[in-house]
Chain A
Amino acid sequence: MKILVVDDSKAMRMIVIRTFRQLGQAEHEFVEAEDGADGLAKLRSEQPDLVISDWNMPEMTGIELLEAARAEGATTTFGFITTETSTEFRERAIAAGAAFMLAKPFDAVALSEALGAVAA
C-alpha cells in the first residue's frame, strides 16, 4: 500500500511512519508532503491508497486538502492525525469524507484501531 503522510512537522511525519513500522507494517511505501498544497500535488502524482494528514498547516490546511481532493473526484481513504479533535472539527472532517480522526499524541494501538475500522 502507498501511504501519503502530510504534516508540516518533519518530526511528526517520521513519528507516523515509525508507528506504522511498530505495527509491523513496514512493507508500505511512504510518501511525505510538508503542507496541504504539497499533499494535493503528491495525491495527484503519486496516487496513494491512503492519506494521513495533519489539520493545521501553512499554504493549505488538511481539511482544504481533503475538500480539494474530493472536488477532483479522488476517493482515496483519508484520515487525520491532529490536535483539532473538537466535535466541530470532527463533524466537518467526517462531512468532507474523512474516514478517521486521531488526536495527537497518539500511539500504535490508536492508529491500529483507526486503520482496523477503515478496513472493516
Chain B
Amino acid sequence: MLVLEDDLTALTGGVWEAFLGLTAEPVPPDDAVVGSCYSSCVHISGAWEGSVNLVLPEPLARTVAAAMFDLPPSDVSAEDLTDAVGELANIIGGNVKGMIDEPCELSLPVVAAGPGISLSIPGAEVLQSVTLSSGGHAFQVAVHARPTPRTPRSEP
C-alpha cells in the first residue's frame, strides 16, 4: 500500500477541522514533539498489516480533548484525554484503512502518556510520517507497515 505524505497530511487536517474546529498545517519534521506527550495507536490486520500512531504534546492533547468534550481545557480529566486521543487515532487509522482495497480489520486504540514517549513496533517499518502544527504545537502521525506474505519487506 502506498500512503502519500500529502494524503496523510490532508486526512489528518480534515479530521482536525471537521471534528475539532482546529487547523493543522504541515511543518518540517525537525519540529519534533517534545516534553510530556500522549501517544495513541491502532493496528490494521488482514491482507495488509500495519499500525497508525499519533503523538501529541500534552497541551495539544488537552486542547483537542477540550474541543471534543466541549469543556474548558482546565476541566479535562486524564480519562477524557485518553478517550479523546484514542478516538482520534481510531478515526485517522480507520481512514488509512479505507485506503486499502483489501479486507482488513482495525483494532481498538491503545494510548500511552508520559515524557518523551517513542513508539516502536517490532518488525515494522515507517511507511509514512508527517509532522503538523496546531495552535503552535507540533504533532506527528505515522503509518507503520509490517511485512506480510503478500507484501514482503524490502531488503536493505
> Are A10 and B80 in touch, CB under 8 angstroms?
yes
Inside 8 A of B98's CB, which chain A residues have their CB?
A: 83, 85-86, 103
The complex places the Cα of A8 from the Cα of B108 at a distance, in Å, of 10
CA distance A107 to B87 in the complex (A): 16
Stretch of A11-19, A36-44, A66-74 at the chain-chain interface = A11-19
| Interfacial chain B residues near A56, Cβ < 8 Å | 90, 106-108
Contact A15 B68 (CB under 8 A): yes
Complex partner residue of B94 from A12, A84, A107, CB under 8 angstroms: A84
Q: A9-B87, A58-B108 are in contact. Are A18 and B97 (CB under 8 A)?
A: no
Within the assembled complex, what's the spacing in Å between the Cα atoms of A81 and B80? 20
- Tell whether, in the assembled complex, residue A11 and residue B65 are in contact, meaning their CB atoms are under 8 Å apart: yes
What residues on B are CB-neighbors of A9 within 8 Å?
Answer: 83-84, 86-87, 90
Q: What residue of chain B has the Cβ atom nearest to residue A14's Cβ?
A: B69
Q: A84 to chain B: which residues have CB within 8 Å? A: 94, 106
A116 part of interface (Cβ distance < 8 Å): no
The reply to whether B19 and A15 form a contact with Cβ atoms under 8 Å apart is yes
Indicate whether B91 reaches chain A with its CB closer than 8 angstroms: yes
Majority SS at the chain B contact face: helix
Distance of A15 Cα from B98 Cα, bound (Å): 22
Nearest-neighbour CB distance to chain B for A54, whole angstroms, equals 9
A77 interfacial contact with B, CB 8 Å: no
- Among residues of B, the one whose C-beta sits closest to the C-beta of A12 is B87
Bitwise, B116-143 to A at CB < 8 A (1) or not (0) is: 0000000000000000000000000000
Whether, in the assembled complex, B70 has its beta carbon less than 8 Å from a beta carbon of chain A, the answer is yes
Bound-state CA distance A10–B83 (Å) is 7
Interface membership of A88, Cβ < 8 A: yes
Check if A83 sits within 8 Å of B108, measured CB to CB.
Answer: no
Contact digits for A3-46, partner B, Cβ 8 Å, 1 yes 0 no? 00000111110110010000000000000000000000000000
> What are 14 A-B pairs at a CB distance below 8 A?
A9-B86, A10-B69, A10-B83, A11-B69, A14-B69, A15-B68, A82-B94, A83-B91, A83-B93, A86-B97, A88-B103, A104-B91, A105-B18, A106-B18
- Give the 10 A-B residue pairs with the shortest CB-CB distance, closest first: A83-B94, A105-B18, A11-B68, A9-B87, A105-B19, A104-B91, A11-B84, A11-B83, A10-B83, A105-B15
